[in-house]
């Protein structure tokens, strides 16, 4: 999968630490099936948000390579 787009975030140290702790949490391992990388975690959180808050986009989201990768994480582990 070719990735040529980049998203940059400006975060406080506290928010960065919160994301890191969330990625390393038992909930993340349970939800993802693995301890996700930073990219996997953020992609998964965005997909979760779409499913819960913008359900009209779910069919479009299901065709996104990052979503397909996210869905395969739990299956392959």
29-66: per-residue pLDDT in tens? 998 989 999 999 999 999 999 999 998 998 999 889 88
Phi-psi sector, 33: left (phi>0), alpha (psi -120 to 50), beta:
left
CA-to-CA separations, 41 to 22, 38, 56, 57, in angstroms, rounded: 9, 5, 22, 20
Structure tokens that stand for 1 in this block: 């999968």
Structure tokens that stand for 63 in this block: 């065709």
1-38: per-residue pLDDT in tens? 567 788 889 999 999 999 999 999 999 999 898 999 99
> Model's pTM, two decimal places?
0.81
């Amino acid at each position: 999968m070719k990735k040529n787009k980049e998203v940059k975030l400006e975060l406080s140290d506290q928010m960065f630490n919160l994301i890191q702790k969330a990625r390393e949490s038992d909930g993340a391992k349970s939800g993802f099936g693995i301890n996700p990388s930073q990219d996997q975690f953020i992609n998964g959180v965005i997909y979760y948000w779409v499913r819960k808050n913008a359900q009209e986009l779910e069919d479009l989201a299901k065709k996104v390579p990052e979503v397909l990768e996210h869905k395969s994480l739990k299956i392959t582990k």
